[in-house]
Structure 1
Amino acid sequence: MRYIIYFIIGYALWLLLTLTTNIDHLLAGVIVVLIGTIFFGGYFTDKPQKLLQPHRLFWMIIYIPVFIWYMIKANLDVAYRTLHPQRPLKPGIVKIKTNLKSDTAKVFLANSITLTPGTMTCDIDGDYLYIHWIYAQATDIETASRIIARPFERFLRRIFD
């Protein structure tokens, strides 16, 4: 049953991201999501039916444009740093603390951070994530956590925890 739920969620995400009715894309989505479900379905959450609860689905739908907004802002920031004649870079690896409880939520947080240009999750160690940051604005855990993780955590907590 859980593999069916994973397939439904994965295919819904495919449809949301591709926004097409082209039969080739729809079939490719079925194949990709089916393969992903078969190979990785056992690594996700033990209770996928939780993700089909209406309030969690609502927050998933809200999370997508929020994530896209932060991704656009980060893209513009990286473009600025790349094109600026003095290259304002201050790279560093910072330690942040997450308030998320489930492993699935922590992995989604790590992926959201990595998919946002200028940051990359290097490691997850319990409640701590180690992030490579193109311009380390802060090195203390609380400030770095507030800047990097908090915008995503508010939504991921409602979806997964």
Structure 2
Amino acid sequence: MRRVIYFVLAFIVWVLIAWPFADGRIDLQIVVAGLIVSFLVAVLFHDILPREHHVFISPVRVFWFLVYVPVFFYHVIWANLDVVYRAVHPAMPIRPGIVKIKTRLKTDSAITALANSITLTPGTLTVDLTDDGDLYVHWINVRTDDVEKATQLISQRFEWFLHRIFE
């Protein structure tokens, strides 16, 4: 069942990236290549893909994912504007540093999604993950050294959604 789910997901990603529907017709070569590559990915790499495959077939989780995507893009755009402001400001108001973030997420998929969400947001970069699930994040403008406050400022905006999607 995992292989089937990963095959379908890989094919959907292939179609979205390759977009074989140019000029109002379907490019059959791109579709066939996508089916072959998706099949190979599902067969060869299913062991390294997340074991929590149930998250991909739950309508409630899919709903929360669809809600999360625009929220994530909102935060990415806002962070981009903040980084641009700091870069063009004559005084360049930055205070870079590494802060510790505590997460209440438990599954590997959820923690990975959180780390990637933080990294994809301009001004922050996940640099380490401890065995107990703590993240170390490089922050362009450290506002606090307090773990709880840094967690609230950096990760809680994503964590609430990711908990509903992955756990």
User: Could you tell me the TM-score, scaled by structure 2's length?
Assistant: 0.83
Report the CA distance shift for 1:37/1:92 in structure 2 as closer, same or farther (over 3 A). Answer: farther
Deviation at 1:138, TM superposition (A): 1.2
Residues in 2 aligned to 1:27 and 1:104: alpha-carbon distance in whole angstroms:
30
Q: Which runs of 5+ in 1 are unaligned?
A: none
Q: Deviations over 1:50-86 (max 9, x none)?
A: 3211101111111111111110011111111111111
Report the CA distance shift for 1:32/1:130 in structure 2 as closer, same or farther (over 3 A). Answer: farther
Report the CA distance shift for 1:27/1:70 in structure 2 as closer, same or farther (over 3 A). Answer: farther
Correspondence 1:121 to 2:126:
yes
Correspondence 1:5 to 2:5:
yes
Partner of 1:21: 21
Report the CA distance shift for 1:42/1:113 in structure 2 as closer, same or farther (over 3 A). Answer: same
Q: Deviations over 1:102-159 (max 9, x none)?
A: 0110000000000111000001112200000000111111000001110101110011
Residues in 1 aligned to 2:121 and 2:37: alpha-carbon distance in whole angstroms:
23
Correspondence 1:106 to 2:82:
no
Count of residues in Structure 1 that have an aligned counterpart in Structure 2: 161
Report the CA distance shift for 1:39/1:86 in structure 2 as closer, same or farther (over 3 A). Answer: farther
Root-mean-square deviation (CA, aligned residues, Å) is: 2.5
Aligned letter for 1:155? Answer: F
Q: Is the 8 A contact 2:80 2:122 kept in 1?
A: yes
**2:99 pairs with 64, 82, 94, which one?**
94
Aligned letter for 1:61? Answer: L
Correspondence 1:48 to 2:49:
no
Report the CA distance shift for 1:96/1:36 in structure 2 as closer, same or farther (over 3 A). Answer: farther
Q: Which runs of 5+ in 2 are unaligned?
A: none
Partner of 1:131: 137
Q: Deviations over 1:32-64 (max 9, x none)?
A: 755654564322322413321110111111111
Residues in 2 aligned to 1:134 and 1:30: alpha-carbon distance in whole angstroms:
42
Q: Percent of counterpart pairs with the same letter?
A: 45
Partner of 2:157: 151
Partner of 2:80: 75
Residues in 2 aligned to 1:48 and 1:118: alpha-carbon distance in whole angstroms:
31
Report the CA distance shift for 1:155/1:17 in structure 2 as closer, same or farther (over 3 A). Answer: farther
Report the CA distance shift for 1:5/1:69 in structure 2 as closer, same or farther (over 3 A). Answer: same
**1:64 pairs with 55, 59, 69, which one?**
69
